[in-house]
Amino acid sequence: MQLGFAATHLGGHKAPDGYADALLGSLGYRVMLECKTGKQIVTNPDAAEAAKYRDAYGAGYCALIGPAYSEEMELLHELQTHAVTAFTVEDLSTLLSIGASACEVRRILTPGFATDVIGDLLWERTHGARKRLADVAAFVRDAGWQAQVTAAQEGGPTNAPLFTVDAAMMLVDAALRQAGSTQACTREEVQQAFEHLTNPLTDAAVWTDETHHAIVITAQLQPSPELRGA
């Protein structure tokens, strides 16, 4: 079981090589697997063969797996005609190395070459919404902690300012500019960061009261956040 799938090997005369079931509960899906051998380039990819058993096994997707393929328009047309996704061994290695989930793999299972969509996934991991939220949350946590340190040194709890979304936005924007980002944070991003940090599974902050108007950082971020590609 890798990438969140349970794989079943079949093979033999008039049978597919196998299939893989995504372990996603009610969102689960099945992928038919057709494996091709070759020293470098698969000489006979046969997209139709990869799709042959789709209906018989109740699969939603079909995948062709081989060392590499020639990126000819004819093969691309066949993949699109038979709704098959061609994966190289390097593609699978990349997905394993980044710990891709079955949900992410589903996005890749579009007719054509998987390599093209994997590139989009890698960009999303490095520059996309999840990375952006992680950066904002890290800056919120660091800025909030530093503000609390200053408050403790200068006046104690009585005079400590409330760390609200508005206060956090100003501090995070300053941190983003210092890190080289020209894109200011949004209110929604900071609100999402507050929810993330106060989640018991994260346990990095708590709300000051039941109104959920302000938070207190409960654990210092180590090391201080660095913006990479935000």
pLDDT score of 156 = 85
Per-residue pLDDT, 217: 96
Same domain, 164 and 103: no
Co-location of 31 and 112 in the same domain:
yes
Claim to verify: residue 34 and residue 70 sit in the same structural domain: yes
State whether 76 and 16 are in the same domain: yes
Q: Which of 34, 32, 35, 11 is nearest to 21 (CA)?
A: 32
Pair 10, 76 in one domain: yes
Confidence (pTM): 0.69
The answer to whether 30 and 57 have CB atoms below 8 angstroms apart is yes
Same domain, 49 and 107: yes
Judgement on whether residues 165 and 95 belong to the same structural domain of the protein: no
Provide the number of structural domains found in the chain. 2
Task: Give the pLDDT of residue 2.
Answer: 66
Looking at 70, 85, 118, the residue that finishes a domain is: 118
Q: Which of 55, 87, 118 is the last residue of a domain?
A: 118
pLDDT at 151: 92
**Quick one: 102 and 169 in the same domain?**
no
| pLDDT beneath 70: ranges in the chain | 1-2, 223-230
- Beta carbons of 180 and 227 less than 8 angstroms apart: yes
